[in-house]
Structure 1
Amino acid sequence: MRVPAKPRLDGLKQALDKKRANGHRLPRDGFLRETFSLPRAEARAKAREWLERWPKQAYWTEIESWCERPGDVIEFTMRRLPSAD
């Protein structure tokens, strides 16, 4: 009995690599994320805006990660649940 040949997955691998390089990755944990790169004062204002619009107690809103960039710019990622139960 002859075993059928496995299909080539090069096209699929290239498509996945391209999507990942463009930042189109689906979250597996249900959180919505948005990354910002803003001057320090604007970064604080944006974080406050998120926390006021989507309260931490209901949406688990938080600053997931952040780092300082040259020129007093802060790059940070905010995350929250899509809806409150």
Structure 2
Amino acid sequence: MKTPRDLAHHMRDRQDRRKVDDGFVRETFTLPRPEARKRAEGFFARYPKAAYMSEVERWRELPGDQIEFTMKRLRSAD
């Protein structure tokens, strides 16, 4: 690696190769805490856990009472 940009491109390419199509759709949101809760509840109402295996894959608190979270679900319910 000659420059920081080279390193960044190398790391991006490694991440792209690691991505596997596991059948899940992921959506990431960054919202104030009350809105994040409502968004997650709406997601579970639209994509029930039992049918879509929906879940909060990851979340973290950000400054200003913001929540960043990733929801995942199966592409379709069978």
TM class by shorter chain equals: 0.7 to 0.9
> How many matched pairs?
68
TM-score, scaled relative to structure 2? 0.76
Deviation at residue 28 of structure 1 after TM alignment:
2.0
Question: Is 1:79 the counterpart of 2:72 in the alignment?
Answer: yes
Q: Which runs of 4+ in 1 moved over 3 A?
A: none
The answer to which structure has the higher helix fraction is 2
In structure 1, stretches of 5+ residues that fail to align are: 1-13
In the alignment, the residues of structure 2 paired with residue 26 and residue 49 of structure 1 have an alpha-carbon distance, to the nearest angstrom, of: 27
| Residues 36-77 of structure 1: per-residue CA shift (max 9 Å, x gap) | 000000000000000000000000010000000000000000
- Picking from 30, 38, 51, the partner of 1:45 is 38
In the alignment, the residues of structure 2 paired with residue 61 and residue 35 of structure 1 have an alpha-carbon distance, to the nearest angstrom, of: 13
The answer to which structure has the higher strand fraction is 2
TM-score, scaled relative to structure 1? 0.70
Q: Bigger radius of gyration, 1 or 2?
A: 1
| Equivalent residues in 2 for 1:51-66, closer than 5 Å | 51-66=44-59
Question: What percent identity do the matched residue pairs reach?
Answer: 56
Q: For the aligned residues, what is the CA RMSD?
A: 2.2
In structure 2, stretches of 5+ residues that fail to align are: 1-8
Go from structure 1 to structure 2 and tell me whether the alpha carbon gap of 1:75 and 1:65 turns closer, same or farther (over 3 Å shift): same
